Amino acid sequence: MQEFDCRQDLGFLPKAEIHRRQTALFNAHLRHLRNDSPYYREALAKFPDREYSLEELQDFPITDKSDFTNFGQQFIAVPREQIADLGFTSGTTGMPCQIAYTKRDLARLAYSDATGFLSAGMKPGDRVLLTCTMDRCFIAGLAYFSGVMAMGATGIRNGLNTVESHAEILMRLKPEGIVGVPSFLARLVRYLESNHLDCRSVRTAMCIGEPLRRSDLTLTELGEQLNSYWPGAAHSTYAASETQSSFAECAECAGGHAAADLVIPEILDQNGNRLPNGEIGEIVLTPLQVEGLPLLRFRTGDMGFLIPDDCACGRNTPRLGPIVGRKAQLLKVHGTSIYPATFTATLDDLPGVEEYYLEITGAELSDEVTVCVARDPAHPELTEKALQERIATRARVKPRVRLVSLEEARLHVYGRSRKPTRFFDLRNRKQP
């Protein structure tokens, strides 16, 4: 069994060699599923026990998040005494799912994030400020910290704290890297600027949990704010906790790479058919080298695309483009199909919007969207009507707009999950 070494980036290997190694790892993964996972032992019973090509991956069954709800413990593929850590997904769009990690799985997580950090430009010896939690069974925070250590850097675990606290750390310790949610980092930057604090030591800002780029790879307003203070620092990442794998932008900032030996991505249409690179569909991931909770073709519920051309950095791994929405959050408003990201992108680009969230109501196939906005008092021109018109210009539909206090907005966005939550589904629908 190979050791994880982030100093050897397998993404630079020739495509044929990456394909060969992934094929071997894929078949080892299938053997583990057959032999040790109660769920997959049954799910794969009709598939002959033989070697398979990567091209045959699309013939295997898809694993849905609902399968966790119905068969949770049957996915665990190691004895209880080998489980080193138990975590949960954030539960942003449903019931949190339990995930079991062995010691090797934790080393794999560290390798995954360290590889991404290094590809983005972090270096051994850097100091990295972590603005995300490690408690409440949140595995991502532990993964980021472990990744920082694995790459030979120093972690500063200030966690979920105030902008004032992080500003003090930035002033005192002058870290070269920072990890956090883009909307929070932008708020931190605004605080630094308004207080005339020079905290420009940061070279790399790893942005988690929220989109940093549009589908054409241009930066959102949040990304522009970060790069205006820390030039060229903002890098986007994507991860699905269940798959224990992450994608991170390299120095080219043109899509996210994953470690070549850790995951195989697919993009599927609504009927489960594989889509060509460049077309938007649901992101489906098969993680490799996982012991505790191995998965096969896991539906993330996130909508995205694979970038068709090669990356200028020289890596030969597929690049994942920006997330355009969640499958379960596709809305039908006045006959128009639209993802919430269309609303959020407009608000992110609008000066004077301090915080916001969406409330979705309605019945059957007619959705009503209420955009709740906390505005900067210095922008009284942002009336409910003005905001409605601004959103309608890009979204092609007019949502309801309600002005709320900053305290109320932050309570909604940050008070109910370990990740910022801006989408609240209040619909009461009969299940088909």
Per-residue pLDDT at 94 exceeds 70: no
pLDDT digits (tens, 9 = 90+) for 65-85: 889 878 889 999 999 999 999
Residue 418: give its domain's CATH number: 3.30.300.30
pLDDT for 430 = 45
pLDDT digits (tens, 9 = 90+) for 291-346: 999 999 999 989 999 998 999 999 999 999 999 887 777 787 866 778 788 888 88
pLDDT for 384 = 94
pLDDT digits (tens, 9 = 90+) for 250-288: 999 999 999 999 999 999 998 999 999 999 999 999 999
- Are 354 and 289 in the same domain? no
- Are 319 and 386 in the same domain? no
Pick from 297, 325, 353: which residue ends a domain? 325
pLDDT for 328 = 72
Q: Is residue 357 part of a domain?
A: yes
Q: Give the model's confidence band at 366: pLDDT under 50 very low, under 70 low, under 90 confident, else very high.
A: confident
Q: Is residue 90 part of a domain?
A: yes
Please compute the mean of the pLDDT values over residues 138-157 and round it to a whole number.
94
Please compute the mean of the pLDDT values over residues 11-22 and round it to a whole number.
97
Pick from 325, 357, 385: which residue ends a domain? 325
Q: Is residue 431 part of a domain?
A: no
Q: Which residues contact 285 (CB under 8 A, 6 or more apart)?
A: 240, 243, 245, 263, 264, 265, 266, 295, 297, 298, 300
Please compute the mean of the pLDDT values over residues 347-352 and round it to a whole number.
87
The number of domains in the chain is 2
- Are 216 and 313 in the same domain? yes
Residue 251: give its domain's CATH number: 3.40.50.12780
Q: Give the model's confidence band at 90: pLDDT under 50 very low, under 70 low, under 90 confident, else very high.
A: low
Q: Give the model's confidence band at 95: pLDDT under 50 very low, under 70 low, under 90 confident, else very high.
A: low
Considering Cα of 369, then 370, then 376, then 378, what sign does the dihedral take? positive
- Are 336 and 319 in the same domain? no
- Are 237 and 346 in the same domain? no
pLDDT for 280 = 94
- Are 382 and 235 in the same domain? no
Owning domain of residue 227: 1-325
Q: Give the model's confidence band at 431: pLDDT under 50 very low, under 70 low, under 90 confident, else very high.
A: very low
Please compute the mean of the pLDDT values over residues 394-414 and round it to a whole number.
90
Q: Give the model's confidence band at 363: pLDDT under 50 very low, under 70 low, under 90 confident, else very high.
A: low
- Are 6 and 111 in the same domain? yes
Please compute the mean of the pLDDT values over residues 209-220 and round it to a whole number.
89
- As beta bridge partners, residue 401 has 371
- Are 279 and 353 in the same domain? no
- Are 194 and 169 in the same domain? yes
More confident residue, 400 or 72: 400
- As beta bridge partners, residue 127 has 154
- Are 112 and 212 in the same domain? yes
- Are 122 and 265 in the same domain? yes
Q: Is residue 410 part of a domain?
A: yes
Per-residue pLDDT at 91 exceeds 60: no
Please compute the mean of the pLDDT values over residues 110-115 and round it to a whole number.
96
| pTM for the predicted model, two decimal places | 0.82
Look at residues 358, 346, 388 and name the one whose alpha carbon lies nearest to residue 221: 346
For the ranges 50-54, 122-126, 311-315, 330-334, the lowest mean pLDDT is seen at 330-334
Q: Is residue 432 part of a domain?
A: no
- Are 297 and 340 in the same domain? no
pLDDT for 138 = 78
Please provide the size of the chain in residues.
Answer: 432
Per-residue pLDDT at 204 exceeds 90: yes
Q: Is residue 40 part of a domain?
A: yes
Tokens 């970060």 belong to: 226
More confident residue, 326 or 386: 386
Per-residue pLDDT at 432 exceeds 50: no
More confident residue, 339 or 132: 132
